[in-house]
Structures are given as C-alpha cells and as structure tokens.
Amino acid sequence: MRFGKLLLLAAGLASRLLAAGQTSPDYTRYVDPLIGSQGLGRVFIGPTAPFGMVKPSPDCTSSPNSGWLPEPTPVTGFAQVHVSGTGGGPKYGNILLMPFSGPLALGDKSAHRQAEHVELGYYRAQLAKPAIKVEITASPKVSFYRLAYPQGQPKALQLDAGFFLGEQPEPDGREAQQFVGSEVEVVSPTEVRGYSRIRGGWNNGRAYTVYFAAVFDAPVAEFATWKGQQLQLGQKLQADSGEKTGALLRFQNSAGDTLKVKVGISFLSAARASENVRAEIPGWNFAQVLGQLRGRWNALLSRAELGADTPLTQQKLFYTGLYHTMLMPVDRTGENPLWNGTAPYYDDFYAIWDTYRTSNPLITLLAPQREVAIVNALLDIYKHDGYLPEARSGNANGRTQGGSNAEVLIADAYVKNLPGIDYRLGLEAMLKDATVPPGGNEEQEGRGGLLAYQRLGYVPYGVDRAGNRTLDYAYDDYCIAVVAKGLGQQPTYEQYHCQANNWQNLWRTDYRNHGATGFIMPRDAAGKWLDTIPFGNSVRQHPTFVYTPLTRENPWYVCHWCAYFYEATSWEYSLSVPHQVPVLIAKSGGPAAFRARLDTLFEKKYYNVANEPTFLTPNLYHWLGRPDLSSQRIRQIIAQSYNTTPTGLPGNDDSGAMSSWLAFQLMGLYPNAGQPYYLLNAPLVRQTTLHLEGGKDFRITARNLSATNCYVKSARLNGRPLRQAWLTHQALVQGGELVFEMTAQPGDWGTRVLPPVAE
C-alpha cells in the first residue's frame, strides 16, 4: 500500500513536470473541475483535452446533464461523451464502462463512491462495493482507465452500448434522447468494438453514432454479450437490430490486480475508433498520458499569466474559468460523418446565443488560431448543411434561442482581423440567415419570424421569442453591416446598417415601470401594443394575463420556448442593445434617467446574473462616463455569485459562458463581441500578462490595488496616459503594457472619452 502511494506520488510528480516542461509554471494546479459542478453550473468534471472529443465521466443515473452527481447518488458507470454546463434535456452519455467483480450476469452494477478526487486531467474514486479503484485520464479521442481490483477478486468489466443520458419513459419526449440502435463485438481477446446510435436530446437532433473500441492490457478469459434482456455466454457479436447491446468481460488473473482499458471513440467507424487508440495512446503508461494531457492544457492556460502574488482563490477562479471556456465546442476534425473535406469540423455549439458574448472572445484573445478554426467550421457547416449553426450537437443544427448569432462570431473575427477566414463566404452565410426563412425549421436554424421581421421591422407577438428575436436580429444585422462595409458591399451595408435600428420598433417610448421609461414590449402585427394577452385555446373561456416588463409568462401561460423573451424579462432584455448604447440612453430619458434605471435594475434585483443577455449590462455605466460604477457592480456581482465551491457558478455555465465572463472581469477587460474593443474595468487581480500567439506580451498591472483601492485613478498604455476606459483589440495584440493606478475614490478617469459609437 505504501509502495503504491509512492508510485502514485511519483506519477503525479512526473505528470506535473511534464505539464510544466522546462520553464513554464504549472497552471493546471489552479484548475478545480468541481467548481460549478453542483447547483446550476452543471459543468463536466472528468478529464478531457482542450476542446477534446472524448469526455469520460461518472454517470450517476441517467438524469444529470453532465453525467455526474455527488454522493449519495451511486455511479451507474462511466460514459465517454458528455457536454458541459448545459440546461434543457441531456445529450450524450454514450458507451458506459463499469468495473465489477461478480459473475457475468445482467443487472444493475451501480456502486457508491468513496474518496472521489477530481483534478484537471485526472479522476479517481474508490467504488464502495466491490472496492475497485477507478482512475481516468484522456487524450483528445481516447479515454484511459486504470482499474485496481481487490486482491484475488475476479477482474470484470461491463461495456454497455445501450446506455445514454436523459432517457424518458414516453416515446419521442421533447428534448429526450431516444435509442436507435447499438452493436458490440468481441474482436479479439484484448479488444471489444461497437457503437451506440441515439437521436434527440436537447437540440432534438437527428441520430448520431458514437463508435468505440475498448482495448485491454490483459486478455479476456470469459465473456458474455447481451441484446435486450438475453445474455449469451461466448457470443462474440451482437449485431444491430434496434435493441440495446453490451458485453460482460472477465479477465485472466495476472500478477497485478490492475486492469488498464483504453476506450477510443469515433464518429466514423469502430475501426477508426481503434485507430484513434493506436494513434493517440500506443502504450500503457497512464502517468505519461496524464502528463501529456496536462501539458496540452498548460500550454493554453499559460497564455494568461497572473502575477505571482495573486491570491490562490483568484488563481483558481481565473484558471478554472479559462478551463471551462475551452471544453467546448468540440474539435471533431477528421471525424465528420456527414461529408468529406479538409476544413476543421467542430460540434457541440451549445449555444452561440450563450457563448458569443464572452466564450468566443476569450478564445480569440488566448488562442486566435482556434477561433479561426471554429469560424471556418461554422462556414463549412453552412456550405454543406445550408445554414450556419446557432446551436449544434450530435452533428445536427438546433436549437435556436434568439438570433442567428453566428453572425456575431464572424463579425468579431472580422473586426479583430483574424486571418485565414473567407469573409466573403462569411457574408454570404450571414445573408442566408437574414434573407431566407428556414422553411419550418425555425427551431433548428435560421431566423424564425423572418418574413414578419422583414415586413414590419420587428417580430410580432405570437411568434415564439418575438421580443428577444427582434433585439438579436437587429444586432445580427449590425454585424452583417460591419462585414459588408469592410468588404466594400455598400448597398448591403446600407440596408443592414438601417435594419440594425429595428429594435427601436419595439421600444415603447412612453411606457413607465418602477421609475424607468421606455421598454421593449409586445406588439402585434397590426402595430398595436399589447398590455393584456390572451392565453390558452379554449372555446369557452378567454382568459388574459397582464404583460409588464417583469413578466415571465412561461411556463404557466406558454411553453418554455414560447415566451416573449427567452429566459429573461423586458427589464433585462430592453438593455441588450450592444451596438447603440448612446441611443438606448437617449431613449431612456438621458444619462441621469439611464443611471437611475441601471441602479434600479441592480438594487431591485431585476438583473439576472445567471443568464447571458445581461452580461454587458454592468458595463453600461461606461457610456455614462462612470466606469467606476461599472467596476463597483462587477465587484458586487462576483462577490455575491462566484466562488470556488462546487456551487460557485450562478447559472448554467453554458459552454464556459459564465466562466469566461468572470475571467475577463478578473483581468479588467470586457469585450463587446462583434466590436473591436474591450471595455476597461478596475482589475481584480494585480497583474495579468497575456502571452499572445505570435510571441508578443500584453501586461495589465493594477498598481496599489487593495480591498479599498478598487477604483482606477489613471491609466497609462505603453507609458502614455490613457484617459478612456476602453482599448482596441489591435492595440492589445500589438503587445505592451497597460498600467492602472488604483485609488480609494473614483476620479475622472474614463469620464470624458466614452466607448466608441458603433458604425
């Protein structure tokens, strides 16, 4: 036992050294994958590579979106594919592996866990009965398990190709995954292959197939395979006949009590999955694979270096935030089952409505080539599937939540001069969204209510999510205008520049609520404002409800997806006009009224930290010349809603959205996605050095920062005074140093030169 512990320590040390390399500090130690794993956060807790295709994790029943739940829920098994931070119906949870030590018999093999331990790239738990130790690490496409069985006990393993998350008893349940087919085959004494084919789930997508090849470091001594409820001893193949299949394996006793298993996955074939195992993990050195995985992460995390004196809590929040941001979308280049080609292929955009504001801009800042690949993957999907994804999972577009927000990613890449993207194709794809109705597939892609939007300049009440669709489309149109102008497409620019004003068509100028004036409010196709709205479809009774800017009409009056604003109220969404904040201020009654409105929003808790439409809102004080108030709100939000515990994220992390918002704010930067600048806030950390792709560094220093010195007195960019509370992306990527002088009282920094007015 003692020797075993020493071995583990040595392996851990070796992996840390590998992660750290010769000179780079090890930032992986600051990542705590459990932050945000409980409560609303729902992050994935298992080991995975950056944007990794395989995501092994405990599955504790088939209910949780990430697979994992804490004790006392037992672990059902360990599936190879998961998503992170999601709401709605679960997706994936395929190819369930479960070690056991009994006879080869069908039945539930769930077990409680003891001493569960999670760190970046590594998972460990001791199953309570039988006492099997499970360790997991991974490469991009292969899960690597090390299973230590009790001495002298049979080493057995269950591979279940029929398991998946979110199974519902009723057929075709909305957002429920549905079983389509599966297959297993014992192809050799050391390899089992097969697949799981599932449809549906959160995005109601078409069927996807996860192929697998499980390879063992010891030969199988005895096996049985099953189909449905029939178990067949020694039957090598269970061919797909639309039933659930799996294999029970007992391994030969060997000198040690450990069994190692590599589970490669593929979306093309089981043979390809086997090839992925050979290509990525040819040997059996668990510590080496763990070290390589940590090395991959450290190479990314080290691009943002916090000062050495940064408190541990802030280091954990920051680096875990970066980590969460780079879990998805998933790089499946070379694994596209739908078409051939050399373009990058990414899946699990979950959803761009959630990620465009901060997740993608953070990837652009730290790993711009990755963002280029992501945008090119979107364009390739457009070329073959016909529409850019708003969301995509299991190789299928869907679900739209608001706008066609891939437009923002393309515009953001364009204004930040990301090379290697065919922006003319980008403009074509954006215009497809903006001009061609998706023909009944509005939940899947494109713009729902498009014809009415084109005719009226807004989406009328009665179309699902009409309020936020109008706001989102207006911003998407702004993004189209930006790219069109840059490409010299003047008529297109002029049209969409004009359409970017469309949000104003739903602005009810004289409407007052809790002291604020002007709101985005429901309006029918005839132009009439709707204060009371009928609900239901009774022929005998005709009830109505009163609509106010605080109304959430779902789920009582309408379905979750049918509300006027998706997951928000008018108080929140009326401020979601990232391209025309000065107009918004004027329409709200001027700076004083707008300041009061923002104060009311925060003080009366109408602000929802747990959802993305309000991400920019605390920064709106910048446009009033009061960046100190922005920073004050941001500090309050972080103090109240973020921490390093398992419930330390305020809402669904949504593919790193919540986490990337936090990471930006800790540095003192906040992007306005689709526009070429960052708003500057009082940093929460004393120093951040961004080691940019291309070799340049940009350092942000907050001198004299303390608990009381939390306001920016002055700033200098590369030694010259910077009086504005914003900085262009181009200035940042040229490298240099931004130094804030911090003070206890707000000064006049940032009060005169306001953030840029959008084109």
Partner 1 sequence: MLRTFLLLSLAALGSAAARAQDPKPTVGVGTTFNYMFELHGQHAPFELTIASATDTLKLKWRIRNLAGGVYAVSPTAWQQGTALHVAQPLPGQPVRLPDNQTFMLLSKSAYATLLAQHHFEYNNTVYDLRDDTAAHPLLLGGQPLDVLHVVAQGDATELWILRNDKFPIICQMTHSPLGVNYVLTNLN
User: Given the rule CB under 8 A, which residues bind partner 1?
Assistant: 40, 63, 86-89, 169, 174-175, 351, 354, 401, 535-541, 543, 545, 552-560, 562, 567, 610-611, 651-652, 654
CA distance 357 to 615: 8
Is there a contact between 513 and 549 (Cβ–Cβ < 8 Å)? yes
Pick between residue 14 and residue 40 the one whose CB is nearest to partner 1: 40
CA distance 516 to 513: 5
Q: How far is the CB of 354 from partner 1 (least distance, A)?
A: 7
Is there a contact between 242 and 184 (Cβ–Cβ < 8 Å)? no
Q: How far is the CB of 86 from partner 1 (least distance, A)?
A: 6
Structure tokens at 550: 């605080």
Q: How far is the CB of 559 from partner 1 (least distance, A)?
A: 4
Q: How far is the CB of 651 from partner 1 (least distance, A)?
A: 5
Pick between residue 3 and residue 556 the one whose CB is nearest to partner 1: 556
Pick between residue 498 and residue 559 the one whose CB is nearest to partner 1: 559
Pick between residue 185 and residue 354 the one whose CB is nearest to partner 1: 354
Closest CA to 690 of 375, 354, 196, 318: 318
Closest CA to 221 of 246, 194, 190: 190
**Other C-beta atoms within 10 Å of 163: how many?**
25
DSSP for residue 212 = E
Q: How far is the CB of 476 from partner 1 (least distance, A)?
A: 20
Pick between residue 605 and residue 720 the one whose CB is nearest to partner 1: 605
Pick between residue 569 and residue 743 the one whose CB is nearest to partner 1: 569
Closest CA to 236 of 182, 192, 181: 192
Q: How far is the CB of 542 from partner 1 (least distance, A)?
A: 8
Pick between residue 40 and residue 187 the one whose CB is nearest to partner 1: 40
Query: Hey, which residues does 727 pair with through a beta bridge?
Result: 678
Pick between residue 67 and residue 181 the one whose CB is nearest to partner 1: 67
Amino acid at site 432: K
Pick between residue 651 and residue 674 the one whose CB is nearest to partner 1: 651
DSSP for residue 252 = P
* Cα separation values, 253 from 50, 126, 155, 220, Å: 36, 21, 7, 10
Amino acid at site 230: Q
Pairing of strands 736-743, 697-703: parallel
Helix locations, 520-656, DSSP H: 570-573, 581-587, 591-603, 627-641
Q: What are phi and psi of 611, to 5 degrees?
A: -140, 150
Pick between residue 522 and residue 668 the one whose CB is nearest to partner 1: 522
CA distance 733 to 690: 9
Is there a contact between 327 and 656 (Cβ–Cβ < 8 Å)? yes
Amino acid at site 308: A
CA distance 15 to 9: 10
Q: How far is the CB of 537 from partner 1 (least distance, A)?
A: 5
Structure tokens at 562: 């049918």
Q: How far is the CB of 402 from partner 1 (least distance, A)?
A: 12
Helix (H, G, I), strand (E, B) or coil at 669: strand
Pick between residue 339 and residue 535 the one whose CB is nearest to partner 1: 535
Q: How far is the CB of 345 from partner 1 (least distance, A)?
A: 24
Q: Which residues of 385-420 are buried (b: 16+ CB within 10 A; e: fewer)?
A: bebbbbbbbbbbbbbbbbbbbbbbbbbbbbbbebee
Pick between residue 235 and residue 554 the one whose CB is nearest to partner 1: 554
Write the DSSP assignment of 103-138 as a string of letters. Answer: -S--S---B-EEEEEEETTEEEEEESSS--EEEEEE
Q: How far is the CB of 401 from partner 1 (least distance, A)?
A: 8
CA distance 132 to 242: 33
Pick between residue 72 and residue 695 the one whose CB is nearest to partner 1: 72
Structure tokens at 432: 């497809």
Q: Side by side, which strands form the sheet with 133-138?
A: 113-119, 122-127, 133-138, 142-148, 258-266, 205-216, 191-200, 177-188, 237-238
CA distance 26 to 10: 16
In angstroms and rounded to an integer, the radius of gyration of the C-alpha atoms of the chain is 27
Pick between residue 464 and residue 741 the one whose CB is nearest to partner 1: 464
Q: How far is the CB of 555 from partner 1 (least distance, A)?
A: 4
Pick between residue 331 and residue 354 the one whose CB is nearest to partner 1: 354
Structure tokens at 491: 């008529």
Q: How far is the CB of 567 from partner 1 (least distance, A)?
A: 6
Amino acid at site 276: N
Q: How far is the CB of 399 from partner 1 (least distance, A)?
A: 9
Q: How far is the CB of 316 from partner 1 (least distance, A)?
A: 24
**Other C-beta atoms within 10 Å of 195: how many?**
25
Q: How far is the CB of 565 from partner 1 (least distance, A)?
A: 12
